[in-house]
Amino acid sequence: MEIKQTVGERPGAAERPQESGVAALGRGGRMSRQRKTAAVLRLLRGEDLDTLSRELGVVAATLSGGRDAFLDGGTAAMKSRPADDRDELAARLQAEVGQLTMDNELLGQKCQHLESGRPLVTRRRSG
């Protein structure tokens, strides 16, 4: 029995090569979040970037970019803490301290001018 395949026809499931661990991405397709995560984890476990790129049909730069983004996200998650009411209170109090500091400096300048007998604003003579 002879099996014929016409041009442009996709191979049947039995004819397709089996992938290890992660389903292959078709050329030109998009990877789901689960596939991206699985691919990145394989890279982090030490699999070769070029080999994995060929196996999944994904450009190596895409995989390495995904790995970098994954690691950056993990780093950011380690640094951050959930916001609470104290953050809003601290921001409001910092703004208030800034305003009071400016007011205090302006009052200090005004006192110096009054004590020295000089006017606060110098006027230009027209003429």
Half-sphere exposure of 91 (CA within 13 A, CB side): 5
Q: Count the Cβ atoms, other than its own, within 10 Å of residue 25.
A: 19
Residues counted in the chain:
127
Q: Are the C-beta atoms of residues 37 and 66 closer than 8 Å to each other?
A: no
Query: Is there a contact between 47 and 19 (Cβ–Cβ < 8 Å)?
Result: no
What distance in Å separates the CA atoms of residue 85 and residue 98, rounded to the nearest whole number? 20
Q: Tokens 């029995």 — which residue?
A: 1
> What is the number of alpha carbons within 13 Å of residue 32 lying toward its C-beta?
6
Q: Per-residue pLDDT for the chain (127 aa), expressed as one digit of tens each? A: 555 555 555 444 444 444 444 444 444 567 889 999 999 999 999 999 999 999 999 999 999 999 999 998 888 888 767 777 888 899 999 999 999 999 999 999 888 888 887 666 666 666 5
Tokens 């003579």, residue?
125
